[in-house]
Amino acid sequence: IPATYEVRSGLLVLWGRLSGTSGAGSWVATLPPDFRPLQEIVVMYVDGATLRDFIIGAAGTRTAYGTGAAVVADMRLSTVPPFAIK
């Protein structure tokens, strides 16, 4: 999963692409302690005709949810708005 993050004016900005995750509730990655959100963030997006969600937990875990065999076929991380970090 090629992804990059950077802090700008106290907000974490993500960019890159998430692709090829399968299975409902697939763990994607965990953000380092200094780059975790103050609270859980849920981002909804459409993959083809399917509504899916990407969750960044307060513990830094990034998980993708959806239906079907391929939970995430393609998601641009710029879909996630910049967020405050701990």
- Compute CA 16 distance to the chain's CA centroid, rounded to the nearest angstrom: 10
User: Tell me, what's the pLDDT at 40?
Assistant: 94
Could you give the CA distance from residue 84 to residue 70 in angstroms, rounded to a whole number? 30
Q: Determine contact, residues 7/24, Cβ cutoff 8 Å.
A: no
DSSP count for the chain of H helices, then E strands? 0, 8
| The overall pTM is greater than 0.85 | no
Residue ranges of the chain with pLDDT lower than 50? 1
Quote the pLDDT of residue 75. 80
